[in-house]
Homo-oligomer: A and B are copies of this chain.
């Protein structure tokens, strides 16, 4: 080891070369030097492992009501159990080299293992969960997922804390949302706690893929797809619930300043009576063309408007927030309400709760429109705007291209802007610098 290695150099070295280290570990040649070695050893020595010992701390339910409790429909059948989980580890030659932690783009590299749980109504319901090496899915070309977008997902992250321990952030919220989405999609609901435990096991097996840096994390993608091979537009009697893991850097490149947004009322992301409040694939595919339009116009992301009064709904794939001076001369923060048009974001919910705890300004879930934003900007009463989501955490907005104008938002020009404090608080909790019940240590 070169003595010029700083702590971060060292962490990067470990991250890049641990596939070799694991191979050597398998041959008992070396002892891993990072905090994760204990879990890797445990994962590899299955016979010594008590598979029920994963520690999921139960956190308090969210204060902001999250309208998402539901019972399993009677016809779902058997639920899967964490205690039935089987593990088939990748052979040493199946382990992938890890990319440089500085070099991670979003969702491009994947870890060595995946979790999969099949559902077949005719076999009684959910089958036994299994962790396998990362491998391709083998599906009939008539599977409903290919034709009718019978598919949904969640976005979560595992964070390597400053203490080296791995944390999740409010995972029970993702499970609640995923189940409500499954119900809306004609797909079977499942035991969210059992899935969290199985995913934790997966993360611990691939724990060396959780980057040793605060600028990165391990993105977790639980996915549920309908795989019944028939072409009728109907519920899928077979489904596959799987989880893949991807080490990710920042979703947006840092240092590039705030986002410039393309706000064209010609495009709509969602509408009343649709599925805009559910995390289904159908909310994403149709946005790709519009996002290309945004890029052509020199913008980073789309600001999604709705209705004749051009109300703001989401920005890119994030919820949107605005801080302004209200008619009483007071600071007030707004975010659109959960009226069916927007995704009930977990970062969104966390921000609302944090701001309420701080009590320094009012925060309201309330509709607001582009013409009004334009007015506020002209009067100097628009302070900050930002997007919020799991992938990007909190992203400041700097400009909005709207009806031929460019509206400047002085988000980054504020003295100690609120968005940055929110970013610091959220990542502080996620990376273990702030002790908070939202962070669940999983090792």
Binding site for B on A (CB under 8 A): 105-108, 110, 114, 134, 136-142, 145-151, 153, 183-186, 219, 221, 223, 225, 229-235, 242, 244, 246, 265-268, 271-275, 280-289, 291-292, 316-317
Q: Within 8 Å CB of A287, what residues of B?
A: 233
Q: Within 8 Å CB of A230, what residues of B?
A: 106-108
Q: Within 8 Å CB of A153, what residues of B?
A: 147
A-B contacts, 28 of them at CB < 8 A, read A106-B232, A107-B142, A107-B230, A107-B232, A110-B229, A136-B139, A137-B138, A137-B140, A138-B138, A139-B139, A142-B221, A142-B246, A145-B145, A146-B223, A146-B281, A147-B284, A149-B286, A184-B286, A185-B285, A219-B231, A233-B284, A233-B291, A233-B317, A235-B288, A268-B274, A271-B271, A281-B285, A282-B285
Chain B proximity of A301: nearest CB distance (Å): 10
CB pair B142–A284 under 8 Å, yes or no, is no
Chain B residue at smallest Cβ distance from A144:
B285
Q: Within 8 Å CB of A267, what residues of B?
A: 273
Chain B residue at smallest Cβ distance from A221:
B231
Cα–Cα distance between A283 and B281 once the two chains are bound (Å): 11
CB pair A140–B136 under 8 Å, yes or no, is yes
Chain B proximity of A49: nearest CB distance (Å): 25
CB pair A185–B289 under 8 Å, yes or no, is yes
Chain B proximity of A121: nearest CB distance (Å): 14
Cα–Cα distance between A244 and B229 once the two chains are bound (Å): 11
* Extra contacts besides A107-B231, A149-B282, A282-B285 (10): CB < 8 Å: A105-B232, A137-B138, A147-B281, A148-B285, A149-B280, A151-B285, A233-B288, A233-B317, A234-B291, A235-B292
